[in-house]
Chains A and B, each alone.
Chain A
């Protein structure tokens, strides 16, 4: 099996797993879910680091990579922090006023 085929397998499994897991998410939490997945999709920071930090990266690569890392890190930081801020607001039933 080539590497591409393995990656396709991984993609297929991850998609179905994602569909099953997300289906169970409480509709109460759809907004924080979206900001959480936003932060997770900022995983593109990994690709951006690979581009920017490559040996002999051209000026174009460095500039594009720099913007990409900045955008992704903004998403990571603001995404996790705001998700946490939202989740803190969901008070337990009958809990403190």
Chain B
């Protein structure tokens, strides 16, 4: 029987790897989900066959509740809430890993089994990462849902306090590794890990969420991986390592897209873009009405739309799709320029625009689209700010200096839909808005696009 289980686990691991491999193109991606599902069912069947299972009523009840909760989450959740859902599932995954580690620790101590260093090291890592990712993800979810302030919450000596707290937790962890029988330390260790997770995330601002979400993804995976070492289960090690490396790659991509170093992210010292540049001198901007905007778009032959988080907030994706259709029908070539950190999680804009039925060959990555701005008639920026800020290229004093941006300022005409002139999330002024070729379209993204659409058919009829 045990041999059979091993083979089931091997096939299950292979299916997980294939599942990730098929994500390399939208054409094969649907297969990914199927492979992942079959892999997971085999894993569950495998573990149920691997030993004489007691307490069926507990296990079945948990499966029932988990399914009953999971199905509505998947179907009711609007696409704009995907970042929150992702943060929530990081919290769930991390909690599961942390609780299994905790239960294993007490179980072994109760039976007076000696917990060797080889078990205790991963067990401590599993519970530390699990608990801190649990509370950290809940904080991230709160910020994304705007239950908590999106601004960074900072206080004096924040880094020092965080470091000390982490050092104490790590010290207690080492103590437990050496003396696993000192069970009274464990609750303190777990408590500190939980508190550390909160402190790690509160200083992070909304614009840095893509990196944080990716990093928490990685931690949750590594926690499951450590569980594999504790329980001596290689399937857990493989699946956890795949998840850990996925989160790692995504956070590296996000870091590069914001010109932050990876060490900077690993130690959680990110999101502290100083709210500098208080110099709010009033410079003149040119603004335009929906009517003018419509006629400019109508006259253009190429338009690049640059979406940002504001699009998600305004839920404007369907209106933008109508604009896309209307312009394409008029023979205007419309593309979308997607910055890797636009939105609140990796790939956020792509999902929203795909939801609005915009074909994915029109969604172009930053590196590819940047060469096209100089030949482009109109760049239409909707709810994006810092990712279009030319100061990142030229102004060495700017907090975002060096961050790769979408070169919208190279287009013949730039139009920016924005609610007001207030600076963006990071509090950085955007010189793009004061350029001669820039027209500011003041208003809510959805309302303004609706107005433009109203003007468009009138012109076609004329």
Residues of A within 8 A of B (CB): 3-4, 6-7, 10-11, 14-19, 21-58, 60-62, 64-95, 97
Q: A25, B20: Cβ atoms under 8 Å?
A: yes
Q: B93, A57: Cβ atoms under 8 Å?
A: no
B303 within 8 A of A: no
Set B74, B96, B233: member contacting A78, Cβ < 8 A:
B74
Q: Which residue of A lies closest to B41 (CB)?
A: A76
Chain B nearest Cβ from A79, distance in angstroms? 6
**18 residue pairs from A and B, CB less than 8 Å apart:** A7-B228, A11-B229, A30-B253, A32-B23, A32-B351, A34-B217, A34-B247, A35-B89, A40-B39, A48-B100, A51-B100, A57-B107, A58-B110, A65-B58, A74-B89, A81-B74, A92-B360, A95-B359
Chain B nearest Cβ from A17, distance in angstroms? 7
The digit string for B62-76, where 1 denotes a CB below 8 A from any CB of A, is: 110111011101110
A-B contact count (CB 8 A): 381
Q: B66, A40: Cβ atoms under 8 Å?
A: no
Mostly, the A contact residues are helix
Mostly, the B contact residues are helix
The digit string for B344-370, where 1 denotes a CB below 8 A from any CB of A, is: 011110110011011111110100000
Interface centre among A34, A52, A82 (most CB of B within 10 A): A34
Given the contacts A71-B92, A87-B26, A53 and B59 also touching, CB distance less than 8 Å? yes
- 6 closest Cβ pairs, A-B complex: A73-B66, A77-B70, A30-B347, A18-B245, A81-B74, A93-B361
Given the contacts A49-B44, A85-B75, A41 and B243 also touching, CB distance less than 8 Å? yes
Q: A40, B29: Cβ atoms under 8 Å?
A: no
Given the contacts A41-B243, A44-B100, A66 and B62 also touching, CB distance less than 8 Å? yes
Alpha-carbon separation in the docked complex, A29 to B246 (Å):
13
By a CB distance below 8 angstroms, the chain A residues around B50 are 50
Q: B214, A43: Cβ atoms under 8 Å?
A: no
Chain A nearest Cβ from B312, distance in angstroms? 12
Alpha-carbon separation in the docked complex, A31 to B245 (Å):
15
Alpha-carbon separation in the docked complex, A64 to B232 (Å):
20
Set B21, B44, B217, B325: member contacting A21, Cβ < 8 A:
B21
Alpha-carbon separation in the docked complex, A22 to B110 (Å):
42
Chain-A contact segment, one of B30-38, B383-391, B435-443: B30-38
